Amino acid sequence: MHYLPASPARDRRRREIVGSCGWYDYSLAPPWLLSTIDSKALAAKQFGGVMWKDALCIAFRDRAGELMGDVEVARTMEKELKAQIDLVADRADVKEVIVATHHQPFYEVVNRTGTLPWEYFNAFMGSTGSARSSRALRR
Ligand SMILES: [Fe+2]
């Protein structure tokens, strides 16, 4: 076991595995949905009588103890992921860098139905910001 957010892990093949839970910033909701509701409606994580359980079970706090919003959490985790990538990406002894996240980093990999409430809850699948962090690896 290795807790990736604490540090990268290395395997016998000289591959560095970097990782973060990642978070969501609603960027994976479809544009048609984002144009019809505001960020407060997304932050509530409830639609049509259904609740995304993070609304009850997750509360990230900053160093001062203040509650953090989803976008701030996503940016923080992306920043931490980028720091890990920067730590290993240019090392001559690293053959390959593998990025692992819990949340999805690409709009294209999210399962789409075009229907509600499904597309509303796609807002909580991840953030395109994780992909921006990972693009640092493509040289
Ligand atoms: Fe999750």
Residues contacting residue 31 through CB under 8 Å, at least 6 positions apart: none
Band of the pLDDT at 131, cuts 50, 70, 90? confident
Tell me the average pLDDT across 81-108: 95
**Ligand 1 center to residue 103 CA distance, Å?**
7
pLDDT in tens, 31-70: 999 999 999 999 999 999 999 999 999 999 999 999 999 9
Give the pLDDT of residue 28.
Answer: 97
Distance between first and last Cα of the chain: 30
**Ligand 1 center to residue 93 CA distance, Å?**
33
Band of the pLDDT at 139, cuts 50, 70, 90? very low
**Ligand 1 center to residue 61 CA distance, Å?**
18
Three-class SS of residue 104?
A: strand
Give the pLDDT of residue 91.
Answer: 95
CA distances from 95 to 33, 87, 99, 112 (A): 42, 14, 14, 35
What 8-state DSSP symbol labels residue 26?
A: S
**Ligand 1 center to residue 26 CA distance, Å?**
14
Give the pLDDT of residue 138.
Answer: 55
**Residue 100 in tokens:** 């692992």
**Ligand 1 center to residue 8 CA distance, Å?**
21
**Ligand 1 center to residue 92 CA distance, Å?**
34
Residues contacting residue 83 through CB under 8 Å, at least 6 positions apart: none
Give the pLDDT of residue 134.
Answer: 65
